Structure 1
Amino acid sequence: MTQHITVTHTHGERISVASGGVELMAYVYKPDPDAFESRKPYAHPLRTLAGSPVSGYRPSDHRWHKGLQMTASHLSGQNFWGGNSYLGPEQGYQRVEERVGSMRHDGFEEFTAADDRLRFVEKLTWVENGGEVWAEERRTVELHSVEPNEGTWALDWSIHLTNVRGEALRFGSPTTAGREMAGYTGLNWRGPRDFTGGDVFGPDGRGGDGETGASELMGTPAAEAPWVAFTAGHDGTDAHSTLLFAHAPENAGAIHASHWFVRSEPIPSVAASWAFFEEFELEPRESFGYRYRVVVADGAWDRARAEDYLKTHGW
């Protein structure tokens, strides 16, 4: 049986969703003050039903990492991820403020809060650093399936992006720019500090303990591993938590094949990268779409538990 939720919308700033006295998620769309961190909406904090925090915000190593957020690290010479830009093997990472773009919140096309589900459709505009509009996004976020007996809740996040620039948009990553196995871009999660060294696993025996498991899954095609789970213990308590990241079935037919970006050390992070090894182009007036699910769970899950959840919770 699902549990009721309470939705609080502070207009112009954030949406908070709580259940059983715990704030499960805040979706923040008020622009952050620092343009270098790439102003864009993000979901933080994320918490389990028991109240354990499972997202990080502005960590000292990467101030532009903010919970769960949509990113584009390399887009036609612009950085819609934030922070330093990777300029190639010779120059490495550099602070180039004029490369950092933003994703502007333009309003909500739909906003529905029910007893057990929140769904909103957000309109955003991707703006390059000089102020030119490059893309229009229709983002759908849905929080649902709050199940105390399972100790779980789920968040679906989809993107539908249209090129309005007038010339092709070229999507890439640090790896397409020459940095080996650093293909981060797309929907990205940054874990809390105590998730560092957590275990990462996927289907068919993939993954394992700590960074060894993460390294095994790094760069794996979503076609071979449509889901990845990250589990770790918390500081200060005896609690463990698990996050399960999954591709919707229709992503198999998306504009470009996805691969997993996964790290357990030195930072806990997972991204459903849409341009890990190769760039792709989006022609003017053309669109692409992806849909993902993030399951937030109390406890240290194993592979059988993750697979059982996915089998019993359809798309």
Structure 2
Amino acid sequence: MGIRVSHAYGEHLAVAAVDGTEILRYVHRPDPDPFESPKPYAHPVRTLAGRTVTRYRPSDHRWHKGLQMTASHLSGQNFWGGNSYVHGRGYLPLPERVGSMRHDGFAELTVDDDRLAFTEELTWSTRGGARWARERRGIAVHSVDEEAGAWALDWSIHLTNTRDEPLVFGSPTTAGRESAGYTGLGWRGPRDFTGGTVFGPDLDGEKLNGSQGPWLACTAEHDEADAHSTLVFAHAPENLDQKSAIHESHWFTHMEPFAMVAVSWAYFEEFTLPPGESFAYRYRVLVADGAWDRDRVGAHLASLPW
């Protein structure tokens, strides 16, 4: 099954299935409010049947925008957006801590009949304008399968420290808040996913929060549509290899009071990136119609080579 790609220059890239359903919009001109940590994001993300599976600027957290790369605690700066967690004081509005990720351009962009792939260059800067990191991001839309009712989104990050001192990556948990690994690639689900089902290869529900594993899936039933959707978040094999990954990853997830998944790269412990050094991770998000079970998720992921 093919795709159609459009580019609103300076604004966004959009991907549509052959029937015209827009399944992905990648916005590289982010919203301007500095308190929301301006950065590129993916929203809306939709299934092939047109069900929206991301949420944008919800009333409870305006800085939650679909699917986006984040770093909630980075050497005292907040690249997640919104309030910053301070141990003993809770979440505080500290705008001087909120940084941004600037889109600098596309180094590569290729479109085939059934695949979009692009490489994006970004600069991570503090609220004061100091340039702390350079990112090369890879995005690919592929494996659009009408029969299975699913398509895949690959998202990679290669981040280089451009400071003269180390970058220290953490999370609210490393700062003292229990079970709050907000950081890394983060997804905010729509209201339909609140109270949905979450499972992995071996665990279900709340047991997944803070756990490790190759993938995690969320399913939910939509209002009005009488239909279900499934999202699967998966690691590339090297992410879980202690010899190649800069730090071990854990799942951060909850479905109440709202649906959230983050592939947390610093859940329980901080890690340090020395000046001039880099790290890289690769992730896959499977977007599917229907309520998939564990066996179906595992089999479909196994059919998609990295």
Name the TM-score, length of structure 1 as normaliser.
Answer: 0.95
Q: Deviations over 1:52-78 (max 9, x none)?
A: 010000011110000000000000000
Q: In the alignment, which of 272, 290, 302 is matched to residue 311 of structure 1?
A: 302
Q: Deviations over 1:50-103 (max 9, x none)?
A: 000100000111100000000000000000000000011x11100000000000
Instruction: Determine helix, strand or coil for the equivalent of 2:22.
Output: strand
Structure 2: tracts of 5 or more residues without a match = none
Instruction: Determine helix, strand or coil for the equivalent of 2:302.
Output: helix
Q: Deviations over 1:113-160 (max 9, x none)?
A: 111000000000000110000000000000000000000000000000
Q: Could you tell me which amino acid in structure 2 is paired with residue 219 of structure 1?
A: G
The alpha carbon displacement at 1:219 in A equals 0.1
Match for residue 147 of structure 2?
A: 149
Match for residue 29 of structure 1?
A: 28
Residue 230 in structure 1 maps to residue 218 in structure 2: yes
Q: Deviations over 1:220-245 (max 9, x none)?
A: 02xxx110000000011101000010
Residues matched between the structures, number: 302
Match for residue 56 of structure 2?
A: 57
Q: Could you tell me which amino acid in structure 1 is paired with residue 63 of structure 2?
A: W
- Kept after mapping to 1: 8 A contact 2:21/2:49: yes
Name the TM-score, length of structure 2 as normaliser.
Answer: 0.98
Superposition pairs of residues 1-315 of structure 1, within 5 angstroms: 3-19=1-17, 20-88=19-87, 90-204=88-202, 206-207=203-204, 213=205, 215-221=206-212, 225-252=213-240, 253-315=244-306
Structure 1: tracts of 5 or more residues without a match = 208-212
- Kept after mapping to 1: 8 A contact 2:185/2:264: yes
Question: CA separation in 2, counterparts of 1:233 and 1:31?
Answer: 30
Q: Could you tell me which amino acid in structure 1 is paired with residue 101 of structure 2?
A: M
Q: Could you tell me which amino acid in structure 2 is paired with residue 26 of structure 1?
A: R
- Kept after mapping to 1: 8 A contact 2:30/2:41: no
Instruction: Determine helix, strand or coil for the equivalent of 1:144.
Output: strand
Which 4+ runs in 1 deviate beyond 4 A? none
Match for residue 210 of structure 1?
A: none
The alpha carbon displacement at 1:194 in A equals 1.0
Q: Could you tell me which amino acid in structure 1 is paired with residue 133 of structure 2?
A: A
- Kept after mapping to 1: 8 A contact 2:6/2:14: yes
The alpha carbon displacement at 1:31 in A equals 2.8
Q: Could you tell me which amino acid in structure 1 is paired with residue 261 of structure 2?
A: V
Identical amino acids, percent of aligned pairs:
67
